[in-house]
Structures are given as C-alpha cells and as structure tokens.
C-alpha cells in the first residue's frame, strides 16, 4: 500500500508559482523493512567482523584489503551482484604496526600508554635514554636547543591540562538543538556536539580540541572536519582541496609556527624519536598520521603568504611512495606525558625505553572501493547509491569511524534483498577507502564515473583578466553516467541514531524527505535542515552537482571519546541506534529507487562541458604487494643522548 503525502513546496519555474507536490511512500514496504531490521538484524555481527576479526583498516594496509575481500564476499552471499573491489589511485604506500613498547625504566619501571602515529618508521632496535623537554616558548629560546637533539628522545609539546568531567561525555541531540537545525539557513555550520553541552566545555577540558601549541596530529581540514562548505556544488570540492590545514591557520609568527619550527629542528638534527601528548584522558588517546614539518620536503614552496608563497599548500604526505625521511614518533596518554615533563622539571632524570616495529607496503600504490549492486527493473540504467568510508585509523578498530557506517549500509542492502524488494533503479553500495586522507576514494570514484570540476585558485585571474580578486566560476566536465544518477546517502558521524538529514542547500528535496521521514517519527528521526555538513564522502558527489546527503545523528561520545582514538572499538557501538539507522537508510534508498523521477538537483553555477567517452579498460586482478620493513632512521648509536646536565 502506498500513502500519498501532500506537502506545499515552491517549484522553481519561469512563473515561480507555488504548487502542491504529492510524494508517495510505500508503507507496506516500510513495515517489512522495520520488521526485518529490528527483529532479525545482522548489523552488529557485520560490525564485529570488521572491528574484532579484521581490526583497524588503514588505507593501503594488507589488513584493509583482507577485510575488503570479506565484505565483498558477504555482499555476494546476501545476493548482491557485481560485487568487486574497484581500484583507484595512485594512493601511496601502505603501513602496518607490528609492535610497540614505551616504558619508563628509571628511576623505576612504569609501562606507558603510547601509540605510534601512522606511517612512522621503525626504531633501530630499542632506544634508551633521558628525554629532552623542548620547552621553548619563543624562537630565541628554541635556538638554545640547536645542536642538542641529535639521537635524542624529544618531548616536543607542553604538558596538556587535564580536568575532571563535569558534563557527560555522551549526549544526544536536544529538542533545542534540533529546532536550531530545522531553522538554520544553508550557510549555518553544523555542530556534532549539542549546544547545551558544548557551552560548558572550556578550552582545556577533555572535550576540547588540541590547542595550536598542542596539535593532536589531526587529519587535514578536508577530512572529518566540522566545516560547512558553501551551498553551491563546487564549494564542496573547493573546501576539500583549497582549505588550509590546521597547521597553517595560525599566523606565520603564531604558536603553531613555533610548533612547526620545533618539529623542523627535531628533523634537522636527527632526533631518535619524538613524543607528544594526546588529546583525550583516562587512557583514551587520539592518534592519526605522522607529522612532517613544512620544510621536510625540499621541493615544497616554504614561503609565507606575504612572501608570495601558496597559503593552501598541504605539504608532504607520509603515505607518499617517495616521502622525505620520517622521524619515529608517538602520542602518549596526556597523564603519562605530563608526568615525564614534571619529573624532568624536578630533576628526577627519567629514562625511557622505546621500541617500534613497523612495515611499509609499496609494491602497489593503488587502493580500492568496495562496490556491489541490487539491479533495478524498468529504470535499471539509473542509480541510487549508499555507503560510508571503509578505512579507519589504527589505534582502535575503527568502530564508530566508520565500521558503523559500513555496517549500516551493508545491513540496508541485506534487508532489501531479504524481503525481496524490487527497486526500479539499480541500488549500488559503495564503501570507500582513503577518506581519512582527504575523501580520496570517493573523489576518485566520482571522477571516474560522473565527471570532474576545476575550481580556479583563489585570486587566480581568468585568462587575459586584470582582476585577480574577482571570483572565477568553476568548470564542470561531466560524463554520461552523471545524467543517470539519482542520489547518494552517507553515514559517517558516529554510532548515534539518525535524527534527520542535511539538505546541503537543496531545498527541492525537502518535501520528499519530509514524507520519507514521516514513518520514523516514533524513532526520533524528524529534523530536516538546510544547513550543510562537511568532512565526509557525500561532499564528493555534492561537489559535482549530484545529490549527496549525510544524515543528522546523535553525537554520543564521537568527539569526546571515539573519533580517531584508541577507544574507537566495538563496545562503543549502540545496537539500538545501529538498527534504527539501518532501517532508515534502507527506506531512503528504496524510496529513491522506486519514485518516478530522480531526485531534484541544485543548479550548477559554472561552465558545463561533456567529457569525451573513453572505453573502459579490461578488469585486472590487483595483487597484494609483499611487506617491506619500515626503514629505521639511520642513527650511529642506540642510546639517546640527553641534554648535558
């Protein structure tokens, strides 16, 4: 049985007249989706396999490919067709951590909580020595350490203040927050953490991000950030390609510039290993990729913007196949890092013992996306997509970021196959790698299948123009599949249940989504906001003018405990929320696949050209390269050398 939901919407036309639009909802199918998803769910089983059996899924690592093969086979087992790992690249080299040990051995023994950053090299066997605390607060003070850091264990950041929790680390969206989202306009930024909780968070509280002087080796601004791109489609691409990373957003003489200079000095002098305090407390440590200072890459333009340098240069990447030398580096639990600093300040002469064993994989620079389909019927050449990113960081097992999104997408298609759904359009699940490094997998897929967009650099004049400050419109080069695409639905804001959906400025879909959410009012999913949300894979579609959407979710512990942390593990997944998200995802995908028309699109603001047709290459097998032991930093001695005292 279908229910026709009547809503009043404004349809853009030459006369700009208001008309009534009727959106049909297959309530019988929604009932069957709910029954299967709530009473016979497999979502937690899928998430357990991904997190417990296969563990962290760092892009390029062999474990990620093994997990991808399991996922592909599971989708095939459930009856999906054309399941395959679709290669994209080049990405760079893979990396795995084979072992790590960090201990305080003098004046007594204590095992320290510490995690190597991704793509850090091995240490030359075991390093032992008294650490140097690089406590410079000015460039002049930093110069006093020059000549003293060679073969040293370096504490590179100040201690981080750790306060008690007076607000719960886990929260749900409040009515006031949801109302604010519903009333927001397209330019309003979104927040993961509700305002009622965020207001009580001080800069030094456990929930706050690292200060400029205490970077938490955060990923670039294009990944999992809270930034909101502008409403035009190209803004999503611009925000992912042109935004200055966090390490460059403080002025050239600000605290972050000094922190970069500290790292540069450690690199220049060949420090044995660098330690920094992690964000988080109580044993939770937030960890991402190895730090490379601005001048680590000799070919990089290191001039400041005032000197004519590129302010948007993101510098070298540790996963590159030919990166500059990387110093071994670890993130310590803040409490343990702080203690070592205090011991040094009190003249206790602590001695540390550090051992890291890692492997690089550089035989195949490409990565992959996992693709599978439920074929459509009369509109099978048109596509509705759903997914989330498959990759994760390595300190935890990538449960809330983003095995939950993978599990929900898998469960949605499993439900539809199990209940015998017959979509008119083809439903395609896509699980991306490279998201944590900049939406790389989804951006490559969109470019391969749908087209690309060229966004002029800021301040770049048009050909023959004498007005470099004038905004230049992007150019869209679209492929044939672009016209056959209906929508992409993404889940990647943690384990919290769905509370609604972001429109990404596409007001034409509001009445459609209002009808689709109506059956889930009893489950708390009612909010529709014009506001944009950024930092995940729907942006790759939105940036080329395709309808791409991320759901509004309850934040729970995402920012405070799990996002990119050592505690991003299976136990943090909320089962009831995962089931609720799965049935809503399945419903949205199914409704998009059976409606008469594709979902409305935002207009493209720029020149549109047609990409030339290129025959698809023959599919070839992708071989996993053998491991390469991560090279150690060449050091003439194993004993770290402390500052003379």
Three-state helix/strand/coil letters over 382-408: EEEEEEEECCCCCCCCCHHHHHHHHHH
Q: Supply the angle between the helices 27-39 and 575-594 in degrees, to the nearest 10.
A: 150
Say whether 237 sits in a helix, a strand or coil: helix
136 exposure class (CB count in 10 Å sphere: 0-12, 13-18, 19+) = middle
β-bridge pairing 485-490 and 379-389:
parallel
Predicted pLDDT at 230: 34
Residue 512, H or E segment: helix 510-517
Say whether 418 sits in a helix, a strand or coil: helix
547 exposure class (CB count in 10 Å sphere: 0-12, 13-18, 19+) = buried
Predicted pLDDT at 190: 54
Q: Can you say whether the dihedral through the CA atoms of 199, 203, 205, 208 is positive or negative? A: positive
Contacts of 422 (CB under 8 A, 6+ apart): 377
Distance CA 207, CA 49 (A): 30
Q: Can you say whether the dihedral through the CA atoms of 181, 182, 184, 187 is positive or negative? A: positive
Given phi > 0 = left and psi -120 to 50 = alpha, else beta, which region is 300?
beta
343 exposure class (CB count in 10 Å sphere: 0-12, 13-18, 19+) = middle
Say whether 29 sits in a helix, a strand or coil: helix
Q: Do domains 24-92+365-461+469-610 and 94-162+241-363 have the same CATH topology?
A: no
Q: Cis omega (within 30 of 0) on the bond before 402?
A: yes
Angle at 280 between CA 536 and CA 209, to 5 degrees: 55
Say whether 31 sits in a helix, a strand or coil: helix
Distance CA 640, CA 645 (A): 14
Q: Which residues of the chain have pLDDT under 70?
A: 1-21, 187-254, 295-315, 458-471, 614-645
Q: What is the DSSP letter of 455?
A: -
Distance CA 412, CA 117 (A): 34
H runs (alpha helix) in 78-129: none
Q: Can you say whether the dihedral through the CA atoms of 136, 139, 143, 146 is positive or negative? A: positive
Angle at 288 between CA 89 and CA 87, to 5 degrees: 15
The pTM score is 0.84
Please, what's the b/e burial string for 182-211 (b: 16 or more CB within 10 A of its CB; e: otherwise)? Answer: eebebeeebbbbbeebbeebeeebbbbbbb
Q: How many CA atoms lie within 13 A of 4 on its CB side?
A: 5
CATH architecture of structural domain 24-92+365-461+469-610: 3-Layer(aba) Sandwich (3.40)
Instruction: Tell which residue, 223, 283, 250, 276, has the closest CA to residue 566.
Output: 283
Predicted pLDDT at 323: 85
Backbone angles phi, psi at 328, to 5 degrees: -55, 135
Residue 327, H or E segment: none
423 exposure class (CB count in 10 Å sphere: 0-12, 13-18, 19+) = buried
Q: How far is C-alpha 50 from the chain's CA centre?
A: 17
Ordered by start, the domain boundaries in the chain are 24-92+365-461+469-610, 94-162+241-363
Instruction: Tell which residue, 356, 385, 382, 358, has the closest CA to residue 372.
Output: 385
Residues in a beta bridge with 133: 155
Q: What's the whole-number average pLDDT of the chain? A: 83
Q: In what side-by-side order are the strands of the sheet with 425-432? A: 81-88, 367-374, 425-432, 379-389, 485-490, 548-553, 498-502, 527-529
Backbone angles phi, psi at 111, to 5 degrees: -80, 130
H runs (alpha helix) in 565-615: 575-594
Distance CA 171, CA 168 (A): 7
Given phi > 0 = left and psi -120 to 50 = alpha, else beta, which region is 226?
alpha
Are residues 371 and 82 in contact, defined by beta-carbon separation less than 8 angstroms?
Answer: yes
Q: Can you say whether the dihedral through the CA atoms of 533, 536, 537, 540 is positive or negative? A: positive
Distance CA 462, CA 60 (A): 39
Residue 333, H or E segment: none
Distance CA 522, CA 525 (A): 8
Distance CA 372, CA 416 (A): 13
User: Distance of CA 186 to CAs 182, 190, 377, 532, Å?
Assistant: 11, 10, 36, 6
User: Distance of CA 444 to CAs 90, 367, 450, Å?
Assistant: 10, 10, 10
CATH architecture of structural domain 94-162+241-363: 3-Layer(bba) Sandwich (3.50)
Are residues 445 and 88 in contact, defined by beta-carbon separation less than 8 angstroms?
Answer: yes
Distance CA 564, CA 94 (A): 18
Distance CA 319, CA 391 (A): 14
Distance CA 322, CA 329 (A): 19
Helix/strand/coil percentages in the chain, nearest 5: 30, 20, 50
Residues in a beta bridge with 41: none
Distance CA 33, CA 341 (A): 56
Predicted pLDDT at 557: 95
Q: What is the pLDDT of residues 519-577, one digit of tens each?
A: 999 999 999 999 888 899 999 999 999 999 999 999 999 999 999 999 999 999 999 99
408 exposure class (CB count in 10 Å sphere: 0-12, 13-18, 19+) = buried
């Amino acid at each position: 049985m279908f229910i026709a939901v009547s809503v009043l919407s404004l349809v853009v036309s030459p006369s700009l007249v208001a008309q009534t639009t009727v959106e049909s909802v297959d309530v019988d199918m929604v009932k069957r989706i709910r029954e299967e998803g709530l009473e016979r769910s497999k979502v937690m089983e899928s998430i357990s396999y991904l997190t417990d059996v296969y563990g962290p899924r760092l892009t390029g690592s062999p474990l990620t490919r093994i997990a991808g093969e399991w996922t592909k086979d599971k989708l095939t087992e459930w009856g999906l067709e054309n399941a395959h790992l679709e290669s994209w690249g080049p990405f760079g080299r893979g990396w795995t951590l084979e072992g790590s040990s960090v201990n305080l051995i003098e004046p007594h023994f204590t095992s320290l909580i510490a995690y190597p950053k991704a793509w850090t090299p091995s240490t030359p066997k075991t390093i032992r020595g008294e650490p140097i605390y690089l406590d410079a607060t000015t460039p002049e003070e930093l110069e006093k350490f020059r000549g003293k850091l060679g073969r040293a264990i370096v504490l590179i950041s100040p201690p981080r203040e750790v306060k008690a929790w007076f607000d719960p680390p886990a929260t749900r969206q409040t009515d006031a927050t949801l109302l604010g989202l519903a009333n927001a306009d397209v330019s309003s930024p979104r927040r993961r953490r509700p305002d009622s909780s965020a207001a009580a968070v001080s800069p030094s509280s456990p929930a706050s991000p690292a200060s400029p002087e205490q970077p938490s080796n955060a990923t670039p601004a294009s990944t999992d950030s809270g930034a909101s791109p502008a409403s035009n489609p190209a803004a999503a691409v611009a925000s992912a390609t042109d935004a200055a990373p966090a390490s460059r957003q403080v002025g050239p003489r600000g605290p972050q510039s000094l922190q970069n200079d500290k790292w540069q000095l450690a690199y220049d002098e060949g420090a044995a290993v660098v330690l920094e305090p992690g964000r988080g407390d109580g044993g939770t440590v937030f960890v991402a990729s190895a730090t490379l200072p601005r001048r680590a890459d000799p070919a990089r333009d290191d001039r400041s913007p005032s000197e004519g340098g590129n302010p948007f240069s993101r510098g070298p990447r540790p996963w590159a196949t030919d990166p500059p030398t990387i110093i071994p580096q670890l993130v310590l639990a803040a409490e343990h890092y702080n203690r070592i600093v205090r011991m040094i300040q009190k003249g206790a002469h602590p001695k540390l013992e550090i051992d890291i064993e890692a492997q690089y994989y550089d035989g195949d620079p490409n990565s992959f996306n996992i693709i599978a389909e439920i074929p459509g019927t009369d509109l099978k050449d048109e596509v509705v997509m759903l997914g989330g990113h498959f990759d994760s960081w390595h300190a935890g097992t990538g449960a809330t970021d983003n095995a939950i999104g993978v599990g929900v997408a898998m469960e949605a298609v499993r439900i539809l196959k199990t209940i015998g759904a017959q979509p008119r359009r083809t439903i395609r699940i896509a699980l991306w790698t490279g998201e944590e490094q900049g939406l790389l997998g989804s951006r490559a897929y969109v470019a391969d299948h749908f087209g690309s967009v060229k966004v002029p650099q800021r301040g770049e004049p048009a050909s023959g123009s004498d007005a470099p400050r004038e905004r230049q419109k992007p150019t869209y080069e679209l492929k044939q599949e672009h016209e056959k695409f209906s929508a992409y639905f993404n889940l990647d804001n943690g384990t919290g249940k769905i509370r609604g959906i972001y429109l990404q400025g596409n007001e034409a879909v509001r009445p459609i989504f209002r009808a689709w959410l109506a059956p889930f009012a009893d489950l708390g999913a009612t909010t529709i906001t014009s506001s944009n949300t950024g930092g995940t894979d729907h942006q790759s579609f939105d940036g080329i003018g395709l309808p791409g959407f991320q759901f509004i979710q309850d934040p729970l512990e995402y920012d405070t405990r799990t996002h990119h942390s050592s505690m991003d593990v299976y136990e943090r997944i909320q089962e009831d929320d995962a089931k609720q998200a799965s049935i809503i995802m399945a419903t949205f995908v199914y409704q998009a696949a059976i409606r008469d028309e594709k979902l409305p699109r935002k207009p493209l603001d720029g020149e549109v050209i047609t990409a030339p047709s290129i025959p698809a290459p023959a599919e070839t097998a992708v071989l996993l390269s053998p491991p390469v032991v991560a090279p150690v930093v060449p050091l003439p001695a194993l004993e770290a050398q402390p500052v003379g005292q």
